[in-house]
C-alpha cells in the first residue's frame, strides 16, 4: 500500500523523463562530463520515511545547494545579529556570481549569491581552512544523516578556475566584510561546493529543515528552529537564482538549486524533496528538476501558501475496539502528507486487522490528492482480502464511484457493529 506514494512519484518522474531541454554546466570540465540523462527524485516524509525513484544512487556535487547550509552554520555559531552585520537578505536581481555588494551597506546582498556564500564560509568558526571545512562537513553530514564525501577532482577544478570567485573574495576583503585571508575563505567555499550528494541526501537534508533542525532519520538535532526559519526565508526569496518569483508562485516551497543539477525543496512541517537532473535552463536551474517539483506541487497540493495545517496532527488516535478491527481516527486537514502517513500506518498494521475503520468525521478539509490515496487504499485492502470502512458523516471523502462508496457509516459504533457482523459471517473482504 505504501506503493501508492511510490507510484505517484514513479509516474511524475516518467512524465518528464523525455524532456531533453537545457545544457550541462561547463565552467569546469568535470560538470560537463556527467551523464546528462541522470534523473532522480527522492521525498522524505516528516518522520523520515524516504521514497525514491530514478537514478537515486548517482552522486553529484552539491554546488550552490551548500549555500543555505553554510549560512545556517554561520547563524548557528555566531547568532543572527553578527551574521546580519556582514550579509543581507535581499534578492539581488543580479547573476549569482556578480562581483557586487549592496551600495549602502557594502555587504553582499544575500547568502545565496556567491559573494554572500563566500562571506558566510569565512564566518564559520575555526583557526584554519581545514578546521572550518571540517565544521561545515560535519554540519552538512548531520543534515544528510551520513558522512558526505568530497569530490577531489571538482574541488581541484573549482580552485584552478575560480578567478571570478577570487575577485569577489578580494573585493569583500577590501570592504572589511571578510576577516582574515580571502584565499582561506575561498578554499572553504570551493570545498563546500565539491561535496557529493544523491537526491536522497538532499531529501533528507530538506526534511531536517522541514522539521525545524531535527533529522527525523537519526533523531539528532542539527540546528535550532530560529536558524531554520531564517534560512528558509532566504531560500524563498533568493534560492532559485533569478527565477525565485516564478518558482514561488508555481511551486511554492523554500528551495535551492545548484549547477551540479540538484534541487532541494522544503515543505515546512511536512516533507523534504531532492531532485537531480544535470541539464540546466538559462537561469542555471535543472530543467527537469523544476518541472518535477512543479508537478509534485500541483498534483499533491504542496504549495506552502495553500497548506493550512501541520500534517503531524492528522492521525489523532489508533485503537482496536475488537479483535481484528482497527480504527484510525483522523482530524485537521487531510492533505498529501497526512494521507501518506495514514496509508503507511495502515500498511504497517496490515497483519493485525481484518477490518480497518477510517474515521474522518473530524477532518475539516481534504484535497484531491488525499481523496485519491484513500480510494487507492480501499482498493488495495480489498486485494489483500481485507476491508476498509469509512466513517464519513458529512460525505467529504465519498464521491460517486469512489471505492469507499458501499462502506460508509455515520459513526464509529455503526462501523464496528458492521465489522463484527461481517467477521462473524466469516467475511473479510
Ligand atoms: N562552485 C560554483 C561557483 O561558485 C557554484 C555555482 C552554483 O551552483 O551556482 O561558481
pLDDT at 429 over 60: no
Nearest CA to 424 among 309, 325, 286? 325
Nearest CA to 193 among 232, 227, 162? 162
CA of 119 to the centre of ligand 1 (A): 14
How many CB atoms sit inside 10 A of residue 417's CB? 14
Atom of ligand 1 nearest to the CA of 164: 10
* Residue 13 grid cell: 518522474
pLDDT band at 163 (very low <50, low <70, confident <90, very high): very high
Query: Higher model confidence: residue 330 or residue 94?
Result: 330
pLDDT at 280: 97
Query: Mean pLDDT, to the nearest integer, of 75-86?
Result: 97
Same CATH topology for 3-300 and 311-425: the answer is no
CA of 315 to the centre of ligand 1 (A): 42
257 DSSP β-pair partners: 263
Q: Please indicate, yes or no, whether the overall pTM of this predicted structure exceeds 0.75.
A: yes
Atom of ligand 1 nearest to the CA of 259: 8
- Annotated active-site residue 378? The verdict is no
Architecture of domain 3-300 in CATH?
3-Layer(aba) Sandwich (3.40)
* Mean pLDDT score of the chain: 92
Q: Per the annotation, does 165 bind a ligand?
A: yes
Q: Per the annotation, does 224 bind a ligand?
A: no
CA of 64 to the centre of ligand 1 (A): 5
CA of 65 to the centre of ligand 1 (A): 9
Q: Per the annotation, does 385 bind a ligand?
A: no
- For the chain, give every domain's residue range: 3-300, 311-425
Architecture of domain 311-425 in CATH?
2-Layer Sandwich (3.30)
Does the Cβ of 97 fall within 6 Å of ligand 1? Answer: yes
DSSP for 358-413, please give it.
Answer: EEEEEEEEE-HHHHHHHHHHHHHHHHTT-EEEEE-TT-SS--TT-TTGGGEESSHH
Given 67, 109, 159, 386, which residue is catalytic? 67
Q: Per the annotation, does 319 bind a ligand?
A: no
Instruction: Show Cβ contacts of residue 10 under 8 Å, excluding neighbours closer than 6 positions.
Output: 53
Amino acid at each position: 500500500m505504501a506503493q501508492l506514494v511510490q507510484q505517484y512519484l514513479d509516474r511524475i518522474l516518467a512524465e518528464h523523463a523525455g524532456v531533453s531541454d537545457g545544457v550541462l554546466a561547463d565552467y569546469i570540465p568535470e560538470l560537463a562530463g556527467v551523464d546528462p540523462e541522470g534523473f532522480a527524485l527522492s521525498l522524505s516524509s516528516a518522520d523520515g520515511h524516504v521514497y525514491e525513484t530514478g537514478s537515486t544512487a548517482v552522486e553529484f556535487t552539491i554546488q550552490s545547494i551548500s549555500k543555505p547550509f553554510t549560512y545556517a552554520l554561520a547563524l548557528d555559531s555566531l547568532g543572527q545579529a553578527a551574521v546580519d552585520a556582514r550579509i543581507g537578505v535581499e534578492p539581488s536581481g543580479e547573476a549569482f556570481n556578480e562581483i557586487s555588494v549592496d551600495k549602502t551597506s557594502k555587504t553582499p546582498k544575500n547568502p545565496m549569491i556567491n559573494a554572500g556564500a563566500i562571506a558566510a564560509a569565512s564566518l564559520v568558526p575555526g583557526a584554519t581552512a581545514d578546521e572550518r571545512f571540517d565544521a561545515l562537513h560535519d554540519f552538512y553530514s548531520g543534515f544528510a544523516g551520513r558522512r558526505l564525501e568530497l569530490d577531489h577532482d571538482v574541488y581541484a577544478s573549482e580552485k584552478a578556475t575560480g578567478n571570478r570567485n577570487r575577485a569577489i573574495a578580494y573585493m569583500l576583503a577590501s570592504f572589511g566584510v571578510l576577516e582574515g585571508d580571502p584565499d582561506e575563505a575561498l578554499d572553504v567555499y570551493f570545498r563546500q561546493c565539491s561535496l557529493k550528494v544523491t537526491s536522497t541526501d538532499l531529501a533528507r537534508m530538506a526534511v531536517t529543515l522541514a522539521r525545524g533542525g531535527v533529522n527525523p532519520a537519526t533523531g539528532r538535532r542539527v540546528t535550532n528552529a530560529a536558524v531554520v526559519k531564517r534560512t528558509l526565508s532566504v531560500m524563498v526569496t533568493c534560492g532559485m537564482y533569478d527565477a525565485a518569483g516564478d518558482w514561488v508562485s508555481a511551486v511554492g516551497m523554500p528551495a535551492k538549486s545548484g549547477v551540479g543539477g540538484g534541487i532541494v525543496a522544503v515543505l515546512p512541517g511536512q516533507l523534504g524533496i531532492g531532485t537531480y537532473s544535470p541539464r540546466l535552463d538559462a537561469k542555471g536551474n535543472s530543467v527537469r528538476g523544476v518541472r518535477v517539483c512543479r508537478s509534485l506541487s500541483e498534483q499533491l497540493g504542496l504549495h506552502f501558501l495553500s497548506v493550512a495545517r501541520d500534517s503531524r496532527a492528522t492521525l489523532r488516535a489508533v485503537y482496536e475496539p475488537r479483535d481484528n478491527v482497527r480504527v484510525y481516527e483522523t482530524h485537521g486537514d487531510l492533505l498529501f502528507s497526512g494521507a501518506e502517513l495514514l496509508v503507511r500506518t495502515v500498511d504497517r498494521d496490515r497483519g493485525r486487522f481484518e477490518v480497518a475503520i477510517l474515521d474522518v468525521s473530524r477532518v475539516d478539509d481534504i484535497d484531491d490528492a488525499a481523496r485519491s490515496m484513500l480510494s487507492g487504499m480501499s482498493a488495495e485492502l480489498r486485494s489483500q482480502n481485507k476491508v476498509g470502512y469509512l466513517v464519513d458523516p458529512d460525505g467529504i471523502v465519498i464521491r460517486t464511484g469512489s471505492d469507499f462508496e458501499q462502506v460508509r457509516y455515520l459513526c464509529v459504533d455503526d462501523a464496528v457493529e458492521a465489522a463484527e457482523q461481517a467477521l462473524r459471517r466469516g467475511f473479510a473482504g
